[in-house]
Structure 1
């Protein structure tokens, strides 16, 4: 039995879809806070279990009988609370006799104990100390944070503005990461591994070129010098520093193919009704 936690979110749903291509529905269970949000999965034969990160007593029951558990990281923003939720889930998995955990971490969490990776670093350490067989999938930022329907505005205006300083970005699509997770959950040879997943490196100059090719309308990149507000400004600072230019071969190795190229990802965004489900 494979149990997927946080299965009602965008990544969780995609993982369940990929698992159902690789094994029968009676071998898959979805652990969620609200069963009504995954009624469609129940119709497909997936077992639905209530498992809330904030209610640890529900997790042990949700994880019972799992040969493998996909522990999708909590969407909680406070790193202390998030790490506590993850510790509770790992402890519940150990108490439930789970055979192996696959955890969705973040790039850099293996060595960086502070900042955006703080909760993931703490979780990886707790997982290592748990005695459970496990695999760590360190994700980059999702491509969907950059490649989304808002790009249609750039096509309409003929201008794509950014403050990245021309540096590369190593994002990956949720659907690629979901397929990789499904492979790790259903294949042998991944136990004890920590994968640093990165998609193909791309720049805003290349994105503007892609928009031009796919739309048939000229789109030029305009380098912005002012600081964007909020999270966007912080993220652009990270990109300008080169922090998102790390590249590894882990994602294509696990997928058995290259990560989805930029043009294909952009084409999917620009095609009506192509968007993946929303959620964490």
Structure 2
């Protein structure tokens, strides 16, 4: 039996949908804090169980009979909360005899600092717990950057950044979900850590892609970090080259190259239009 947490979120739902193409529905369990939000999965034969990471008893019950678990990192970034919740799940997995736990971590989690500190602590808890583990260090989601740019392009006819033309490494959410699904069902992923990186891209390149996809001129303009909103907290790292790394792990798990910039923008535009 394979179980996935966070199935009412974007990543968890995509993982479950792909798993349905890989294994029988009777072998899948969807875990949710609010099962009613995932009850549509029942029609496809997937069992839905209540799993509240703040309630150890509910986690124990949810993991009964589970052999492989995907722990999707929790959304609550209040200091101390996410690590506590993750440890609750890991400890319950040990009690339930889960053979392997996969965890959606983040690129850079090896250094244990700043926003990735929770992931570092969770990875450590996994390695010390006993069951086999698979750490999936996800890149930042492409959709977060491209979605903001798409909205700006629609309103202003341009996109802005303070990246100095330096490249970013992000990955399409769907690619990361399919990689997780492959790691859950494939062999040879025990006690492995994967750096799931997409292809590099720049904001000037994004302006060119948006011009082609939208069919109208979209320009790129450099601004200051202060003018860049929430992205102003990310762009200094981009200028420093922190997001300019590449790797082959995502392609390996997907069995194909990760989605490129134009493919991801085209899919996002189509979804927005729909």
TM-score normalised per structure 2 = 0.95
Kept in 2, the 8 Å contact 1:11–1:178? The answer is yes
Corresponding residue for residue 59 of structure 1: 59
CA deviation map 1:239-280 (0-9, x unaligned): 2221111111110011110001111111111125577xxxxx
Corresponding residue for residue 97 of structure 1: 97
Partners in 1 of 2:273 and 2:74 — Cα distance?
26
Partners in 1 of 2:271 and 2:131 — Cα distance?
44
1:149: Cα distance to partner? 6.8
Kept in 2, the 8 Å contact 1:101–1:133? The answer is yes
- Structure 1 residue 86 corresponds to structure 2 residue 95: no
Report the structure, 1 or 2, having the larger helix content: 2
Matched residue count: 274
Corresponding residue for residue 165 of structure 2: 166
1:161/1:273 CA distance change after superposition, 3 Å? closer
Q: How does 1:130-209 map to 2 (within 5 A)?
A: 130-148=129-147, 151-155=150-154, 157-209=156-208
Kept in 2, the 8 Å contact 1:163–1:227? The answer is no
1:126/1:156 CA distance change after superposition, 3 Å? closer
Is 198-207 or 217-226 further displaced after alignment?
217-226
Corresponding residue for residue 263 of structure 2: 264
1:225: Cα distance to partner? 2.5
1:272/1:246 CA distance change after superposition, 3 Å? closer
Classify the secondary structure of the residue corresponding to 1:228.
helix
Corresponding residue for residue 116 of structure 2: 117
1:253/1:79 CA distance change after superposition, 3 Å? farther
Unaligned runs of 5+ in 2: none
Partners in 2 of 1:79 and 1:98 — Cα distance?
28
Partners in 2 of 1:228 and 1:113 — Cα distance?
29
Q: Which runs of 4+ in 1 moved over 4 A?
A: 272-275
Corresponding residue for residue 249 of structure 1: 248
Q: Which has the higher contact order (CA 8 A, sep 6+)?
A: 1
Classify the secondary structure of the residue corresponding to 1:70.
strand
Kept in 1, the 8 Å contact 2:225–2:235? The answer is no
Unaligned runs of 5+ in 1: 276-280
Partners in 1 of 2:253 and 2:271 — Cα distance?
30
Corresponding residue for residue 213 of structure 1: 212
1:160: Cα distance to partner? 1.2
TM-score normalised per structure 1 = 0.94
Coordinate RMSD, CA, aligned? 1.6
